[in-house]
Amino acid sequence: MDTEKEINVGDNDIKHDQVLLNLKIISQIKKYDKLSINNDNLEIDNRIILQGVRRYYQGDGRITTIAFIEKIIDQAFGVTDKTLNKEHNKSLDLKPIKAQNNIVRSAPNNSYFNEDNSHLLQRFYHEMSNAATGLENLRETYSMDVTTVSKVDILLQKLKMRTDKISKLMKITV
């Protein structure tokens, strides 16, 4: 019996989890950590023996790593944009239904176990906020490389603007 066929998980859930996982990994970056990419996951490379040779052979340089981090953040923005749009459209489409005795109720929600939009946005808000700490550490690691520092600064600004936007829309207090 193949368990993968039994479990019905939507592609969106897998994508969300993949992006959240990578944001969590970014948040764990410490100063002078080296990063690698393995199966669409960011990894903190703690292996010391032949680390430079392995990273060169696998193509895990700072240019590739920063590009991958940019991709992760763009994916996080895509998820939050889509979620915000779904929530906005849902609020426009919600039409009350008159039941017996003129009691107004909303149409029933048939997706009992799906994560609601506000919870998903809160998770992304939290992970994007935490990822900023790891990016600050990465910035410090490459402090002598103006191009890399500039790219990290742009990513930090983008994260700050996005978390501010979500915070205002959801009135999140930390």
Where along the chain do its domains lie? 9-170
pLDDT above 80 (res 9)? no
Give 47-64 pLDDT, tens digit per residue: 667 666 766 677 778 899
* 0.85 surpassed by pTM: no
Report the mean per-residue pLDDT for the chain. Answer: 79
Average pLDDT value for residue range 123-144 = 96
Cβ-contact 113, 9 below 8 angstroms: no
Whether residue 27 has pLDDT greater than 80 = yes
Q: Report residue 171's pLDDT band, with 50, 70 and 90 as the boundaries.
A: confident
Q: How do residues 72-124 score in pLDDT, each as one tens digit?
A: 999 999 999 998 888 767 666 555 545 455 544 444 444 444 568 888 999 99
